[in-house]
Amino acid sequence: MTTPDATPTSATGPLLEVTDLSVSFTAHKQTAKVVDQVSFSVQPGKTLGIVGESGSGKTVSSLALVGLLPRTATITGSARFAGQELVGMTTRQQRQIRGNDISVIFQEPMTSLDPVFTVGNQLTGAYRNHQGGSKKDALDRAEEMLRLVGIPEPRKRLAEYPHAFSGGMRQRVMIALALINSPRLLIADEPTTALDVTIQSQILELLQELQQAMGMAILFVTHDLGVVASVCDDVSVMYAGQVVEQAGIDEFFAHPRHPYSEGLLRSMPHSVPKGERLRMIPGTVPLPSRFPTSCRFAGRCPYAQEACTAAPIPLEQLDDGRVVRCVRHRELVMEARS
Amino acid sequence: MTDRHPDPNADPFVTSGNAGPLDATTEVERSVEGAWVPVMHQSDDMPRHVGFWKRFRRNKVAVAAAIYLILLILAAIFASRIGLQDPNAQNISEINRRPSAAHWLGQDDLGRDVFSRIIYGARVSLQAAFTAVALALVVAVPIGLFSGFVGGWIDLVLMRISDAVQVIPALVLALVITGILGPSTTNVAVALAFVFTPGFVRLIRGQVLSVREETYIEASRSIGAKRGYIIRKRVLHNVASPLIVQAAVTAGFALLAEASLSFLGLGVQPPQATWGTMLSRAFAQVFQAGWLLWIPGGAIALTVLAFNLVGDGLRDALGAEGRN
Amino acid sequence: MLTFILRRVLALIPLLFIVSVIVYGLILIVPGDPAITLAGGEEATNERIEEVQKELGLDRPFLVRYGEWVGNAVQLDFGRSLYSDLPITEEIAERFPKTLQIAGGALAFGLLVGIPLGIISGIRPRSVSDRAVVFITSAAIAIPTFWLALILILQLAVYRSILPSRGFVPFSESPAQWFEHLILPWITLGTLTAATIARQLRGALSDTMGSDHIRTSRSVGLPPVKVVGKHALKNSSAPVLTVVGLQIAYLLGGTVVVEQIFGIAGLGSYVLTAINRKDFPAMQGAVMFIALITVVVNLIVDISYALLNPKVRVE
């Protein structure tokens, strides 16, 4: 499932290196910093999971990389992808990368395909937009992709409209669409959240197969730790716009180092013995306009002390490559299960 | 064909975006470019109990329009008592004069005072418009309620008939009926009422149908409330709001239609003044005194606009109930 | 697709049937004795009254008359004009092309102006260009059609001799003059259509632009031209089509006034003249024909819905 050495940096260099990425939105004369100096990296061919609740900034961080945020967003920091700096690119450059070197799949397969065009039309559109070529070549490629994602009778299905496909099938089509130009990085934003559990595992399996086959890296944005456990090599936990922990998958699940991570792990249904109450983290995520300057999790943290609310908490890098934003992480011994 | 009509009066500044999965912790709003964006401002909705009048008053344009209409109506009603000149008094030696101190809006092709003709004309036009709408409502409300409640093939037949009437262009139908009945203000009102009735019926029936589905009627029924009581309370209340809005807007159309019919010679007969006939007379001599076109035409345009603005204002003030 | 069309056409038959009943039934609201009223009222000569009676078959029961009329109408035979004694169908055939050119041109004008305006304001809601479009369209909707015509004539034909104020020149005779004579009627009638189309497209487009599948199109790297021009527009086409369907009735009604103002002998003025002359059969035939046209155009609109949106075909 994971490689033994899950340190964030390796000899060949990361495919995507994000450093101090910040995203602010301005509306009605107010500005809110939704993503605050976030850093992470993704190794070629590996999967990084970005985990957090809604409002953590995980989606915004990933969309910021490819220019899919609205005009009201201001992005600062750095995001180096295969030698290119993504932050500050012109829209034309961003368009060249989208769907080509970096692809995105989203959460809502039922509504993410254009209902008035055939699946084949949409696939060939994405293909020819970047590769050019003849219609026939594009159709062949589209058929190949549909077969790759496990859709039976692909040639026939090319002529059908999205409403002829079920939810799980539509997500497969979305994946085909994202991968048709063989991207090196796939950003998957909660791709299985809206699907049935059985379909979920099918899609996850499919993604892993495709990753193996095509050697692409995946940036997997999700709130579901169960999914992270099954497909990710590394995980980065975000809370209220900041990264609070980063680790390889095994270490993370064995010994989380941030109270929030512990809270998340403990709130998974599997971590509770049968018959006992499910655990949850009390309180809610603060709004971007009201982020505390000190530890943003302190209000909900069972281990909070005075030092936590005194000053901003820096991100500490540990010897084994892990990263933690907590002043008490050395003292606390946390477990995923109770 | 009939169920896909967009609301031609939809507020252009309210665009219904796609509501994504509601976020329990942070409110997010979908921007036009399609990404999630956190909402940072407080919601601007007024709570219901703030009151209809307060909300209406907030819309300055609608209020101005309403004031204009009220003044116009008052002037029309009390036309004979506010010291206007005789609208029919001809003065051949002073034809087509520009506005002057004695004649605020000038004189027409027979030397008559334009200003007083406008006011008296307002009386005729408004009367026709209001009568038409009132008649249409009187007929449409029972039919719409009946059709909505009874359903079945009666409803089907009534809707088909309603469709059929709407297939014939409104002006043509009004023209034909007025022509057959004979040109007069009353007949114009009757013809227009005929044209407007299907629209109202459809509206009322639609409201009845949607209210019928509301579960709270079942709830009321389940606590033993009498059927008649339920109907009166719930249905009429829900129907009233969009009906008022529609009536306001239709009054504007009625005015326009009456002016058109008069322009074509099928409305009020001379020497009676009506805005439509004033326009046609002005047009008859467009090469000599074209400027006379501006006044009755402007009056019509302004008044129709006022009705539309008041209708928009009513819709916004009545809140969600005002929208279909 | 073919079954869809067939079903729609079949649904039209009861509708047209009811319309024919209404149109033919108008004879019943003629005040007084129809024969006398239509013959000219009190001044009518007895011979004329008898003539009218015979022509309209007023001595026979209503249903019989109706049955005959409908039977003929289905073959597009509307009888003879009471006034000119010419076959009504002939008279309609002569006049209809002019009305078609007026209404059709107005519709084209409405689309040519309305669609770009709708796009401009729809893709950037609340921007300066959007507000401008909303303002212009509000003004345009409020202006009465015939007043607009009169003002245009005043400005462009009376004060300055840029365009003719009356008349019709067939295209075959002189394309330039044909255009000159029709441009004002087109603008007059088409302004409301343009404004309504712009409004509806604006609403639909801004809805569509916020949708998930547009996000997908953008995420795949499609250029804005394709995102808007191909995907967004096709998805927003339904309201525009609906407007076209609704506008047909307005346009056909409006030509009555426009033809009067611009002195064009089309179908609209034919209806008006028929009414003034109390030529009942002519009026009935013309109105029935107009209703038929409206129904046919709406059918085309329905079919277009299905062509543009595959989901509709399944219904």
Mean pLDDT confidence for B73-88: 79
CB B135 within 8 A of CB B194: no
What are A248's strand-pairing partners? A234
Distances (CA, A) of A92 to A104, B89, B105: 17, 73, 60
Please state the pTM of the whole predicted model. Answer: 0.79
Confidence of residue B46 (pLDDT cuts 50, 70, 90): very low
| Best-predicted range by mean pLDDT (A110-119, A329-338, C20-29) | A110-119
**β-bridge pairing A323-324 and A316-317:** antiparallel
- Cα-only R_g, chain A: 21
pLDDT over 70 at B215, yes or no: no
Contacts made by residues A86-91, CB under 8 angstroms, sequence distance 24+: A87/A21, A91/A67
Distances (CA, A) of C306 to A152, A157, B3, B140, C310: 28, 20, 15, 33, 6
Half-sphere exposure of B81 (CA within 13 A, CB side): 4
Backbone angles phi, psi at B59, to 5 degrees: -90, 95
Confidence of residue A117 (pLDDT cuts 50, 70, 90): very high
CB–CB contacts below 8 A, A to C:
76
pLDDT at A276: 78
Structure tokens at B250: 């239709």
Cα distance from B46 to chain A (closest Cα, Å)? Answer: 19
pLDDT over 70 at B4, yes or no: no
Check C217 against A95: CB less than 8 A apart: no
pLDDT at A165: 92
Chains that touch C (3 or more CB pairs under 8 A): A, B
Chains that touch A (3 or more CB pairs under 8 A): B, C
CB B7 within 8 A of CB B242: no
Cβ-nearest to C215 among B4, B34, B293: B34
pLDDT over 50 at A71, yes or no: yes
Cα distance from B88 to chain C (closest Cα, Å)? Answer: 24
Kindly list the residues from chain A whose CB atom is less than 8 angstroms away from the CB atom of residue B35: 59-60, 63, 68-70, 73
Confidence of residue B231 (pLDDT cuts 50, 70, 90): low
Half-sphere exposure of B109 (CA within 13 A, CB side): 19
CB B294 within 8 A of CB B114: no
* % helix, strand, coil for chain A, step of 5: 35, 20, 45
Concatenate the DSSP letters of all residues of B128-176 into one string.
HHHHHHHHHHHHHHHHHHHHHHH-HHHHHHHHHHHHHHHHS-HHHHHHH
pLDDT at B3: 35
Distances (CA, A) of B238 to A102, B242, B311: 52, 8, 17
Q: What is the pLDDT of residues B294-322, one digit of tens each?
A: 888 888 888 988 898 888 888 877 765 44
CB A316 within 8 A of CB A329: yes
pLDDT at A2: 41
pLDDT over 90 at B138, yes or no: yes
Confidence of residue B194 (pLDDT cuts 50, 70, 90): very high
pLDDT at B323: 43
Confidence of residue A159 (pLDDT cuts 50, 70, 90): very high
Residue in chain A lying closest to C237 (CA) = A116
Interface list for A 245-264 with B (CB within 8 A): none
| Best-predicted range by mean pLDDT (B101-110, B153-162, C122-131) | B153-162
pLDDT at B216: 53
Confidence of residue A140 (pLDDT cuts 50, 70, 90): very high
**pLDDT less than 50: residues of chain C:** none
pLDDT at C76: 79
Check B40 against A32: CB less than 8 A apart: yes
A23, A63, A69, A195, best to mutate vs chain B, most B CBs in 10 Å? A69
Cα separation, A36 vs A20, in Å, equals 7
Average the pLDDT over each of B38-52, B140-154, C234-248 and give the range with the smallest value: B38-52
Complete edge-to-edge strand list for the sheet that includes strand A316-317? A102-105, A185-189, A217-222, A47-51, A234-239, A242-248, A323-324, A316-317
pLDDT at C28: 84
pLDDT at B43: 37
pLDDT at B101: 72
Mean pLDDT confidence for B170-175: 92
Complete edge-to-edge strand list for the sheet that includes strand A16-27? A30-42, A16-27, A73-81, A84-85
The per-residue pLDDT of chain B, averaged, comes to 75
Calculate the dihedral angle through the C-alpha atoms of B37, B40, B41, B45, rounding to the nearest 10 degrees.
50
Mean pLDDT confidence for B121-150: 91
pLDDT over 60 at B39, yes or no: no
Instruction: Return the SS3 of C290.
Output: helix
B28, B157, B158, B180, best to mutate vs chain C, most C CBs in 10 Å? B180
CB C118 within 8 A of CB C112: no
pLDDT over 80 at B27, yes or no: no
pLDDT at A216: 92
Cα separation, B283 vs C147, in Å, equals 10
Cα distance from B30 to chain A (closest Cα, Å)? Answer: 10
Check B40 against A70: CB less than 8 A apart: no
Burial B235-263 (b: 16+ CB within 10 A, else e): bbebbebbbbbbbbbbbbbbbbbbbbbbb
Confidence of residue A336 (pLDDT cuts 50, 70, 90): low
Kindly list the residues from chain C whose CB atom is less than 8 angstroms away from the CB atom of residue A113: 213, 216
pLDDT at A338: 53
Mean pLDDT confidence for A15-37: 88
Chain B interface includes A282 (CB < 8 A): no
Dihedral sign for Cα B79, B83, B89, B93, please: negative
CB C24 within 8 A of CB C56: no
Cα separation, A91 vs B219, in Å, equals 56
CB A158 within 8 A of CB A119: yes
Half-sphere exposure of C297 (CA within 13 A, CB side): 25
DSSP-H helix ranges across chain B:
52-58, 60-77, 114-150, 152-167, 170-181, 185-213, 215-222, 227-230, 236-263, 275-284, 286-289, 294-317
Kindly list the residues from chain B whose CB atom is less than 8 angstroms away from the CB atom of residue A67: none
pLDDT at A308: 82
Cα separation, A94 vs A12, in Å, equals 25
Interface list for B 170-199 with C (CB within 8 A): 170-173, 175-177, 179-182
Q: What is the pLDDT of residues A221-244, one digit of tens each?
A: 998 888 899 899 999 999 988 999
Chain C interface includes B161 (CB < 8 A): yes
Cα separation, C78 vs C82, in Å, equals 12
pLDDT at B56: 78
CA B116 to chain CA centroid, nearest Å: 25
CB B303 within 8 A of CB B67: no
ipTM of the complex model: 0.87
Cα separation, A61 vs C126, in Å, equals 27
pLDDT over 60 at B45, yes or no: no
Confidence of residue B227 (pLDDT cuts 50, 70, 90): low
Chain B interface includes A70 (CB < 8 A): yes
Tell me which of C315 and B89 has the higher pLDDT: B89
Cα separation, C212 vs B34, in Å, equals 7
Kindly list the residues from chain B whose CB atom is less than 8 angstroms away from the CB atom of residue A106: none
Distances (CA, A) of A77 to A64, A69, A87, A328, B9: 11, 15, 7, 28, 47
Average the pLDDT over each of A96-110, A134-148, B65-79, B85-99 and give the range with the smallest value: B85-99
Cα distance from B262 to chain C (closest Cα, Å)? Answer: 11
CA C8 to chain CA centroid, nearest Å: 20
Tokens 């696939």 label which residue? Answer: A123
Kindly list the residues from chain A whose CB atom is less than 8 angstroms away from the CB atom of residue B18: 111
Cα separation, C34 vs C19, in Å, equals 21
Concatenate the DSSP letters of all residues of A268-324 into one string.
SGGGS-TTSPPP---S-PPPGGG--SS-TTGGG-TT--HHHHHSPPPPEEPTTS-EE
| Best-predicted range by mean pLDDT (A168-177, B107-116, C40-49, C156-165) | A168-177
Residue in chain B lying closest to C138 (CA) = B305
Structure tokens at A192: 């299985």
